[in-house]
Amino acid sequence: MDDRLRRTGLAATGTLAAFAWLSIVTAMATIALKGGAYWLTGSVGLLSDAMESLVNLAAAVVALLMIRVAARPADEDHAYGYSKAEYFASGFEGALIIVAAFAIAVTAVQRLFAPAPIEQLGLGLLVSGVASALNLAVGLLLLRAGRQHDSIALEADGRHLLTDVWTSAGVIGALLAVMATGWLWLDPVIALAVAANIVWTGYRLISRSALGLLDQALPAEQRARLARVLGTYEPRGVQFHALRTRRAAGRSFVSVHVLVPGHWSVQRGHDLLEEIERELRAAVRGASVMTHLEPIEDPVSHLDYGLDRDE
């Protein structure tokens, strides 16, 4: 069984790594395309778009590294595994986004006070549009893969690519307005708007990573599923308390205290816990479940509703 689980884990890691490599290749392609669009036009709006793609590349490389770290099996020093490593990838990406936003803002302010003509705008927008279409396709793919495999690193990468698409759409739309009106000041204003938008994206990524590192509970919908499973046993004279959950990137952890009549045999209690754990794992895919058996009649059994037992 252990060998089968190990092979399954290796296959899943290989799949996630393949998606991370796809993100890296896509980032390199969009950097070339958007950099070319900036070179053709001299637009700081398109420059801001190209700089965000540089962030995409750095984030994709870090995501690949962290996915490999997160896949390491549990060991003596890390009994719960390394899955939280993915939060570092997401947090790093958020920090990079904010740094890129600052660089974009500095360039845009300089151009705002020293406007410059935009050259070959039609061709530049066409090249940028191709890059955006590529980001859209890969972003949707990464988002779906991240949700399917419970990978916050891939999901964060996918969300960033989709944010990049909306950013590019705004840049393209505003530069079309520049073509129509001749108002060169719109170009740096676009870049400043891009900077503000990606700061918000970076803040959300960092916040989500911080919450993950703080052992946030499973989502309410999953906790409700666990409660429904436990509720099916109450007519059999079984009680529960101290249900606790936490999530570590792609891993979920559940613990609960099970109270049964004190006259039950050890074997009967053990068989019940095996059944409960099996159903809880089915309710939350991939969850690691820990149960604690206690006699209903013993008052001490009811002292541990909180994280620490009251003495």
Which range among 4-18, 27-41, 103-117, 154-168 shows the weakest confidence by mean pLDDT? 4-18
- pLDDT band at residue 280 using 50, 70 and 90 as cut-offs: very high
294 and 206 share one domain: no
As given in the structure block, the two tokens for residue 90 are 């997401």
Q: Of 148 and 12, which is predicted with more confidence?
A: 148
Q: Per-residue pLDDT tens for 249-262?
A: 667 889 999 999 99
227 and 195 share one domain: no
52 and 158 share one domain: yes
Q: Which of 134-138, 144-148, 182-186 has maximum average pLDDT?
A: 134-138
pLDDT for the residue 7: 43
176 and 241 share one domain: no
176 and 267 share one domain: no
Q: Which domain holds residue 133?
A: 2-213
pLDDT for the residue 293: 92
Given a cut of 80, is residue 284 above it in pLDDT?
A: yes
pLDDT for the residue 41: 77
Q: Per-residue pLDDT tens for 1-47?
A: 344 434 444 445 567 778 878 888 888 888 888 888 878 777 766 77
- pLDDT band at residue 230 using 50, 70 and 90 as cut-offs: very high
Instruction: Give long-range contacts, CB 8 A cutoff, 24+ apart: 12-16.
Output: 12/71, 12/149, 13/67, 13/68, 13/71, 15/145, 15/149, 16/67, 16/71, 16/145, 16/149, 16/151, 16/153, 16/154
CB atoms closer than 10 angstroms to residue 59: 28
Q: Of 267 and 299, which is predicted with more confidence?
A: 267
Query: Is position 308 within any domain?
Result: no
pLDDT for the residue 288: 87
16 backbone dihedrals φ, ψ, rounded to 5°: -65, -40
Mean pLDDT, rounded, for 184-208: 75
